[in-house]
Amino acid sequence: MHGVGFIGAIIIGIFAGWIAEKIMKRDHGLLTNLIVGLVGALIGAFLAGMLGIHFWGWVGSLLISTLGAVLLLWLLGLIKKS
């Protein structure tokens, strides 16, 4: 999350977790959304870096974080089904 700061990262993490929750049709609380969003941001940033995709600012960070959070919830769903 380039250029958004610590508080911005928390806000983006909450929104990314909430959006991923809605996309994946789950029901979590605020803290879980924050954790999912922040971990999703790490996953998304790692994958974007591997693919050579650059993102800056709020919108780019929210998009990458949301994609990472959706991937995280999808992987956790696969593990829970096993």
- Average pLDDT rounded to a whole number, residues 67-82: 90
Q: Above 80 in pLDDT, residue 2?
A: no
Distance, first Cα to last Cα, the chain: 33
pLDDT digits (tens, 9 = 90+) for 35-52: 999 999 899 989 998 999
Residue 20 tokens read as: 């991923």
Q: Above 90 in pLDDT, residue 69?
A: yes
Q: Above 80 in pLDDT, residue 82?
A: no
CB-based contact 7:38 (threshold 8 Å) = no
Looking at per-residue confidence, does 73 or 9 come out higher? 73
pLDDT score of 22: 95
CB-based contact 49:20 (threshold 8 Å) = no
Boundaries of every domain in the chain: 5-81
Residue 53 tokens read as: 């995709």
Q: How confident is the model at residue 53 (pLDDT cuts 50, 70, 90)?
A: confident
- Residues in the chain, how many? 82
